Amino acid sequence: MDKLKTIDEAIDLIKDGDTVAVSGFMMATAAREILVALGKRYKTTSTPKGLTLYQGAGNGNNNDQGVCEMSYPGLIKRYVTAHFANNRPMIEMALKNEVEAYNFPQGVIAHIYRQAAARRSFEISKIGLNTYCDPRQRGGKINQAAKEDLVELIKIDDEEYLKYKVPKFDIAIIRGTTADELGNISMEEESSVIDSLEVAMAVKASGGKVIVQVKNLVSSKSMDRKLVVIPGIFVDAIVISQNPEEFHRQTPGTFYDPMIAGRYKIDGAGFSSIDMDARKIIARRGLFELKAGSVVNLGIGIPEGVASVAAEEGIDDIVLTVESGLIGGIPMGRSNFGSAINAWAGLSMVSQFDFYNSGGLDITYLGFAEIDSRGNINVSRFGDRIGGCGGFIDITQSTKKIVFCGTMTAGGLEISTKDGKLNIDKEGRNIKFKNEIEEVTFSAEESLKLGQDVIFVTERCVFSLEEDGLCLIELAEGIDIEEDILKNMEFRPRISENLKKMDPRIYEEGLMNI
């Protein structure tokens, strides 16, 4: 079985018009060397062209590496992703209608791969109802070039569902650590297995070809069966990375760390403390919602501060999870986002979203960018800034309790605290509580149907989601409702008859001792 190929021989397998699926979460399992070579091939020969590209999580370094290095007009005809990962060339193509662009939830795309692996034609899910993924809004379409309807609203036993189309996949471009001559792939140096197996199985079930980038080639006689993630029956081409430090990095910030790979655990690891600023104040208030033993997901940005504050307060009986598939341990941020140290286990991404979709999380802390009077939230698109939903919709439509965390205003907000009181020293330039938002990433209507417990925590007040929209339920000492709240909203929320003061410990230095 001669599966070892040069990178050029592997790219020869990709034909004009193929539907390609790539694995990856940031740099984890992202076959960057092949992606770069594919982009160069197209620039040199104008082939292969007209590809449809499916990508679950954000792929690359959130800057200039990854899928962005093959994002050329003509090379990619259609792009279906959960997150653009700051892929500026692709965003520019979408804005110019040079690519048919779609944005679906991360878990939905993961499940599309699973359905393809079983040769099913669609994924039926409630995830996405009453958001921009719903065909009654935009059906996940990013631009005018995206004309084909890839999702349909259906009813089963008088209940609404979304029916997502499953394509026929022709090519998988995935990554592992080590291969043997039979094509068996192990992933012992990856931060998690992500979606590599699901992508491989989806493509093989469609009659396509699977290309795998690895660092090492060993004899099958020495391959430990327990380490094999992708059996050789699913693999057609093995490409050995020629420059792994550049093109086969564990994360954007780390070439290889055995702690991130889960080979070892370390004592004394924890979250660093954060300064007493708006982020910490919001995280402190959010912490009051946390119960012992909770299984938690934290969004990026301000919500990550909840873990730091919990550590400061000596709260260590919670279990943190990451969309990439990791459970337990200490999730990492910034250039190592999507990884964790001291994790208990690493599931495949699709299994993690099975867990999320089943309501397995006790609570999630997520950010917000725009909120309307009904309580709908937009975090996915702002004019020509296209991010995508990632796992946001999956998590917010499945979790029992949701704590949205964010500042009241954005752009230059400055605050200070004294004697348990909050002072707004300089108001932010941008209003976040708006009459209308650009698109619905979190649906208040769907949340109310599901009976979720939802609050919105800012540095100066707390709102709850009610049947009639937002309700102001808590106010910080030193804050004036008219001057500091209502003047910074385009709509007037209901004010609770039982309006409470936010706990003064939130604004004081030292431990809160909750």
Q: Please name the helix (run of DSSP H) or strand (run of DSSP E) that holds residue 321, with its range, or none.
A: strand 319-321
At 117, is the secondary structure helix, strand, or coil?
Answer: helix
Active-site residue 304, yes or no? no
Q: What is the 3-state secondary structure (H, E, C) of 140-204?
A: CECCCCCCCCCEEEEEECCEEEEEEECCCCCEEEEECCEEECCCCEECCCCCCCCCHHHHHHHHH
Active-site annotation holder among 100, 123, 323, 446: 323
Rounded Cα distance, 99 and 354, in Å: 31
- Are 476 and 460 within 8 A, CB to CB? yes
Which residues touch 300 (CB under 8 Å, ≥6 apart)? 333, 337, 367
Backbone CA torsion sign across 259, 264, 268, 271: positive
Nearest alpha carbon to residue 107 among 186, 195, 169, 190:
195
The CA distance from 332 to 300, in Å, is 10
- Single out the residue of 288, 505, 500 nearest to residue 403, CA to CA: 288
CB distance 334 to 438 below 8 Å? no
Phi, psi for 229 (deg, rounded to 5): -100, -40
For residue 169, give the nearest of 214, 115, 123 by alpha carbon: 115
Contact between 87 and 70 (Cβ < 8 Å):
no
Angle between helix 106-117 and 196-205 (nearest 10): 40
Q: Give the active site residues.
A: 323
